[in-house]
Amino acid sequence: MYSLTMNSLKPMRFIGSIFSPAIPFAAILGVVLAAGFTARAFAQDASDVGPQRPVVVKPMESHIGNVTGHAAAAKSDYRRYCAGCHGDLGDSNGENAVWLDPKPRDFTIATFKCRSTPTGTLPTDEDLFNTIGRGLTNSNMPIWNSFTRQQRADLVAYIKIFSPRWEKEKAGEPIKVPAEPPVTMESIAHGKALFAKLECWKCHGPAGKGDGPSAATLTDSKDNPIRPYNFAAGKNDSRFKCGGTNQDIYKIFMTGVDGTPMPSFADVIQPNDAWDLVHFLRTLQVDRHGKENEVLSAAHGVIPPYVDKTPAPAAAPADNKPPGDAN
């Protein structure tokens, strides 16, 4: 019996003598791997556990028409669809952010590009709602019109949890956009004169191709390089950063694109003059089929020099005209 037992144990001892130093190693490795996989699984599947820094979901609301959005309701949508770029903490440090240009919006500073409100003020709930539904042209922000109105309203409320500004301030008063006058050659010609006088071309270039003398050195408010909008790029359906309608263009330059070099012109353009500028800007979208380009092609593509009927202040000096501009 004894010898038999000894014999049966011997192979075991043999194996043990070879592997005994390795066994603790294997055990530790196993435990570490298991822990690692568990943590990863937690991070992917569970929404409220794992190595996540806590996000305090304040009871923020949004009001879009008859829809009321609640921040708490958007928590999982935000984590699933937005956090990848905008970050769980809304600080634009999502895992994809390093690859993106322009960078995702940083909700912790509450500066927004597309507003109907004056420069320096918070946008309306509707502005943010529209931005989510529309996406941002020339950026990685997609069109989220697959969301229901309620989902979008909830997300608008959710992004307000990231900056204390939303608790201290109200949205700015939306600017008034008067009814659009008819598109005429006179309107386009005046718009062209304004484009030169207001020096839009310094950044956007004389033909609106985004190649003006100051274009190369532009940076956004976080010192990242940024390009001015190229009006001529894109086909018939090309859109502006903050929308595709003439009203949207009106709002873009009258409110400015906060956080970027694009200033507000609300102090310096009269409401009707602003419509003339809109009409001219449309003609810079050379491949777009629209009323403005129809008027222009009816005149064989020639915009006559604008004759100002009102007494104007002294003209800009000759060397302050866009290069190649005869007017």
Interface residues toward another protein, by CB under 8 A: 108-111, 119-121, 163-165, 197-199, 202-203, 213-214, 217-219, 221, 256, 258-268, 313-314, 316-317, 319-320
The CB-of-118 to another protein minimum distance in angstroms stands at 8
Distances (CA, A) of 219 to 58, 102, 155: 33, 11, 29
The CB-of-257 to another protein minimum distance in angstroms stands at 8
* CB-nearer residue toward another protein: 45 or 319: 319
Read off φ and ψ for residue 22, nearest 5 degrees: -80, -25
The CB-of-159 to another protein minimum distance in angstroms stands at 14
Chain centroid offset of residue 293 CA: 28
* CB-nearer residue toward another protein: 265 or 275: 265
The CB-of-170 to another protein minimum distance in angstroms stands at 13
What residue has token string 């937690």?
42
What number of other Cβ atoms are within 10 A of residue 62's Cβ?
25
Chain centroid offset of residue 218 CA: 17
Q: For residues 88 and 85, what is the distance between their CA atoms, to the nearest angstrom?
A: 9
* CB-nearer residue toward another protein: 186 or 199: 199
* CB-nearer residue toward another protein: 64 or 277: 277
Question: Taking phi first (over 0 means left), then psi (-120 to 50 degrees means alpha), and beta for anything else, what does residue 99 get?
Answer: alpha
The CB-of-203 to another protein minimum distance in angstroms stands at 7
* CB-nearer residue toward another protein: 136 or 262: 262
Q: If we measure between CA atoms, which residue out of 300, 286, 305, 302 comes closest to residue 191?
A: 305
Q: Under a CB-based contact definition with an 8 Å cutoff, are residues 132 and 28 in contact?
A: no
